[in-house]
Amino acid sequence: MRYALLVQGAPYSHQASHSALRFAQAVVARGHTLDSVFFYHDGVYNAARLAAPPQDEPHLPDAWCDLHAQHATALLVCIASALRRGLLDEREAVRHGKVGHSLEPPFELTGLGQLIDLGQRCDRLVTFSP
Note the residues at the interface with another protein (CB under 8 A).
6, 40-41, 80-81, 111-113, 115-117, 119-120, 123, 125, 127, 129
User: Smallest distance from the beta carbon of 74 to another protein, in angstroms?
Assistant: 18
The residue from 78, 83, 87, 115 that is catalytic is 78
Q: What is the 3-state secondary structure (H, E, C) of 3-61?
A: EEEEECCCCCCCCHHHHHHHHHHHHHHCCCEEEEEEECHHHHHHHCCCCCCCCCCCCHH
By beta-carbon proximity to another protein, the closer residue of 94 and 116 is 116
Q: Is 78 one of the annotated active-site residues of the chain?
A: yes
User: Smallest distance from the beta carbon of 61 to another protein, in angstroms?
Assistant: 21
By beta-carbon proximity to another protein, the closer residue of 65 and 78 is 78
By beta-carbon proximity to another protein, the closer residue of 65 and 115 is 115
Report d(CA 27, CA 96) in Å as an integer. 38
User: Smallest distance from the beta carbon of 19 to another protein, in angstroms?
Assistant: 15
From the number of C-beta atoms within 10 Å of its C-beta (0-12, 13-18, 19+), residue 8 rates as buried
Question: Which residues are annotated as catalytic?
Answer: 78
